[in-house]
Structures are given as structure tokens and as C-alpha cells.
Amino acid sequence: MSKIKPAKGSPYARILGVGGYRPIRVVPNEVILETIDSSDEWIRSRSGIATRHWASPEETVAAMSVEASGKALADAGVAPEQIGAVIVSTVSHFKQTPAVATEIAHRIGAVKPAAFDISAGCAGFGYGLTLAKGMVVEGSAEYVLVIGVERLSDLTDLEDRATAFLFGDGAGAVVVGPSVEPAIGPTVWGSEGDKSDTIKQTVPWDEFRTKDTAEKFPAITQEGQAVFRWAVFEMAKVAQQALDAAGITADDLDVFIPHQANMRIIDSMVKTLKLPEHVTVARDVETTGNTSAASIPLAMERLLATGAAKSGDTALVIGFGAGLVYAATVVTLP
């Protein structure tokens, strides 16, 4: 018989607060058109993006995360010293080690929390949320800070007509803590590694080091049509599985918050899922661009701040991207 005592966690977990940070500089499509042969009309019709935010040198991955985290903590009514773990999802922190989560934890005033980074691309927020839920329920942390943050402007090839207009910068954070009722549903997640080349970094860091200094800095590239088809058809199935796992139907939803990759993908998923007209759909991509791991918490924060969604609403969230990886779950909004 095992001598290990049972964990003393909460029966359930929930999102208690959300915060976001968008860099000060707003970049319209006209700036993108300075380096690619395209038009504002073409960019809007292909992606729905009109503007995006690009970070200044001072708006680092850590700095943006600290700003978003402070807002999330205040929204949740949780003090920094109560945070037992900090999880950061990012692909644009350029130090392999140490994890940027440790710096963020120190700067917000957390006291010796577990702190680590994860790399799951645009599904990273969903991965972090699932890990946080497990920590709260298992009892290894009472409150967990989950951050999605990117400076994708550092990894954008401004001469690549297929991707130059897509990416933006920003940070979104949520505080996950105990709940007396289910408020974060089962996660449907996975990966399709046979398609990993459809979204990738152009040159690995070690290969870049050995090349001539005139070589272009590594950037993110993707096979747009392949990604579009996969996202629309396969991710709609995953979204439906998340609804099924939560024991609800589309009619029970109040809000749909998909990864803000592309307006055409979002609209196609709404159609495929046959979402009722009463469901509020996040379309933050129009003014924020694709911020990868930050896109879902940023969109959630804006919906709540503008009153388009309200506390207690039932929301379906789904992230998908490089890997190809995905994660979907149903949550109660803070």
C-alpha cells in the first residue's frame, strides 16, 4: 500500500482574473506595404487585419508580461505572494535559459513560486491553462499565473508577402485558482507532427550561427493554404470535441474565443460549428494581428473590458498553430 498522502487541492479550478498589454506603437497596413508588393485591400481580404502593435526595445517579453500580470492579479484580487506557480508560453524569448518566467515572477513580487516556460506556439495559452488547472486541483499551487506573450515582430520577415502582415506583439495573463464548481472543462489537445513543416522557423539558431553574417535573421514562415485548411476543418472538429467533453452544445455557449490567426479562419469555424447568432465571437485580430500564445487572453480581456462579454459567461477557447499543436476547452469567464 502506498504511503503517499492524498493531495489537498481544490475540487475544481477557474480563471479568476485576466489582464492584457498591447505595445504603444500601432502599425497600420500602410507600413507593411513599404516592403511588400501588396495592397491594404488585399491584406484585409486575406486576413481581416487592419493594424497590429509592435514593441519598442523597452517593451521586452518580460516587461509586457509584468504589465499584463499586474492587471490580471488586480482583476482577480490575488496578491503576488499568493502565486504558487508562473507559467509562460512564448516562442519569442531569445534566451534558451533561464526561463523568462523566473524573471517575471521576481518582478511581480511572487515569493519563490515554481516558474517555467513552455513552447506550444499559438496553442500555448491552452496548454498553460491546462497545466495550471492541474496544479490547483492537485494542490501543488493554490494560485497560478498563466501568461501568453510574444514579440513576433522580431521574427517577422518584412519582405515575405505571405507573412509580413500577420504578426503582432503583446502579452495576456490570467490567474487560475480554486473553485467550488467546474469552471474549466476537460481539455482536448494534441499534435500532428507530420505537418510540423507547415509553420516553422526559417533557420535553426545553430545553423544561423555558422552562416555568413549577411544571412537573414531567422523568421517564421508558413504554408498558408495548408494551415488554413487544417485550421478550418480539423480544428472545428476539436472545438466540437471540447464542447462534448464539457457536456454542453453550441446553444449553451455565450462566447467563442478562437486563436486570433486570421479573420477568414474565425468566420469559417463559426460557420462549420453552426454557432447561434447570440454567441459573441472574438475578432481581436483586426486591430491586434496574430500574437500567437498571447492572442486568446488578449481577446478575452478586450471582450470583458468592452462589455461584449461578461463575468460568468460560458466561453469556448481554442488555440492552434506550429507543431502542429492544438488545445481547446470550455471556461467560465472571470
Active site residues: 122, 259, 290
- In this structure, the number of other CB atoms found within 10 A of the CB of residue 230 comes to 19
**What whole-number distance in Å separates Cα of residue 323 and Cα of residue 134?**
23
- In this structure, the number of other CB atoms found within 10 A of the CB of residue 312 comes to 10
**55 contacts 112 by C-beta, under 8 angstroms:** no
Amino acid at position 275, single letter: L
| Coil/strand/helix, residue 266 | helix
Q: Could you tell me where the DSSP H helices lie in the chain? A: 29-32, 40-47, 61-76, 100-108, 124-138, 205-209, 224-229, 235-246, 263-273, 285-288, 295-306
Residue 36 CA, chain-centre distance (Å), reads 27
Phi-psi region of 167 (alpha: psi -120 to 50; beta: other; left: phi over 0): beta
Phi, psi angle pair for 181, to nearest 5°: -140, 160
Amino acid at position 14, single letter: R
Phi, psi angle pair for 35, to nearest 5°: -125, -5
- The b/e string for 97-131 (b: 16+ C-beta within 10 A; e otherwise) is eebbbbbbbbebebeebbbbbbebbbbbbbbbbbb
**Length of the chain as a residue count:** 334
